[in-house]
């Protein structure tokens, strides 16, 4: 199984001389197992992935697993070259949003008001699959989904094949009690305790979903200091990601969905900080790294 990072930024592309080492494209990760290609999200990184796939001179069949439909995770879809080549077969999976299906959301962003080519003009054989929490098979790969905490319906993906497991969280913030503050009122105290129990159960559920993964690709957009002014925005800190990896006993942790304002030197400092924390916790068996564009992980 091979995992290649094609886009590692969050929120908005950040190209330029200050981000050349880590890259400036938004979320896109390719997982290859034999002849099966699964793609986590179609941010701007999917453009170069599509060019690479077409260059292989083979019929393109792939499966795009969309975590959620915020712009930075779907904006690259219209620029995915295989969509314009007859004979390509593209399956797109992801959560619907209230009354809108996944197909309606993706089709809407390619209406003429926003883009010069509609989905109805695409040459590829295109198939949409609305998902909830479920398990299914993709050409021998076992896929399980789990709802995570983000301000829209958001699915994490757990993919197992060849005896290896990769978990992709997309955008994810640990659950927390945003309702109650400290008070001496006994009734409120009981309600707060009930909410806290629910929060703990929800976070434990995520740990179970990630459990024993060979590779965890985790949202790690903020530092703990930045998080204080971004709580509730639906993203984890680098330490949140390490906490999840530690509790779930994963083998490798890829810090992902990097803050777009962070330059290469700052990314180096973030990676060094998390590695130092992992060493402090005696997590010597866990490999921790900040994902870079074109980085390849062989499992």
Give the domain CATH number at 154.
Answer: 3.60.15.10
Give me the number of domains the chain comprises. Answer: 1
3-state secondary structure of 145: strand
What backbone phi and psi angles, to 5 degrees, belong to 31?
-120, 120
Q: What is the pTM of this model?
A: 0.95
DSSP symbol at 125: E
pLDDT digits (tens, 9 = 90+) for 273-295: 999 999 999 999 999 999 999 99
- Please state at what angle helix 264-280 crosses helix 238-248, rounded to 10 degrees: 40
90 lies in which domain range?
2-298
- Taking the chain, what is the end-to-end CA distance rounded to the nearest angstrom? 5
Neighbours of 55 (CB within 10 A): 9
Mean pLDDT by 10 residues, the chain (299 residues): 98 97 98 97 98 91 97 97 96 91 94 94 96 96 97 96 97 85 56 84 95 98 96 95 98 98 98 98 96 98
Residue 181: the pLDDT is 55
Residue 162: the pLDDT is 95
| Closest C-alpha among 83, 72, 213 to residue 154 | 72
Residue count (the chain): 299
pLDDT digits (tens, 9 = 90+) for 164-220: 999 999 999 998 877 765 544 556 566 777 888 889 999 999 999 999 999 999 999
How many whole angstroms separate alpha carbon 22 and alpha carbon 17? 11
Q: Burial-class residue 126 by CB neighbours within 10 Å (0-12, 13-18, 19+).
A: middle
């Amino acid at each position: 199984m091979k995992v290649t990072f094609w886009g590692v930024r969050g929120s908005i592309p950040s190209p330029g001389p200050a981000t050349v080492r880590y890259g400036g494209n938004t979320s896109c990760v390719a997982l290859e197992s034999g002849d099966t290609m699964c793609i986590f999200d179609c941010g701007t990184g999917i453009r170069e992935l599509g060019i690479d796939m077409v260059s292989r001179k083979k019929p393109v069949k792939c499966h795009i697993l969309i975590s959620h439909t915020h712009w930075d995770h779907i904006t690259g879809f219209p620029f995915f070259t295989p969509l314009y080549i007859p004979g390509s077969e593209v399956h797109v999976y992801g959560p619907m949003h209230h009354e809108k299906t996944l197909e309606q959301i993706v089709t809407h962003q390619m209406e003429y008001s926003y883009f010069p080519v509609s989905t109805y003009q695409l040459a590829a054989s295109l198939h949409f699959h609305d998902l909830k929490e479920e398990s299914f098979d993709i050409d021998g790969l076992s896929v399980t989904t789990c709802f995570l905490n983000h301000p829209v319906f958001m699915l994490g993906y757990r993919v197992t094949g060849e005896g290896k497991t990769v978990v992709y969280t997309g955008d994810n913030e640990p659950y927390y009690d945003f309702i109650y503050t400290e008070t001496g009122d006994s009734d409120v105290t009981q309600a707060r305790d009930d909410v806290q129990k629910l929060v703990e159960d929800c976070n434990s559920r995520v740990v179970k979903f990630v459990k024993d993964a060979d590779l965890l690709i985790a949202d790690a957009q903020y530092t703990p200091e930045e998080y204080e002014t971004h709580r509730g925005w639906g993203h984890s800190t680098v330490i949140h990601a390490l906490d999840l990896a530690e509790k779930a006993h994963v083998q490798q942790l890829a810090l992902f969905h990097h803050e777009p304002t962070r330059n290469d030197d700052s990314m180096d400092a973030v990676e060094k900080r998390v590695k130092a924390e992992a060493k402090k916790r005696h997590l010597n068996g866990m490999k921790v790294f900040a994902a870079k564009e074109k980085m390849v992980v062989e499992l």
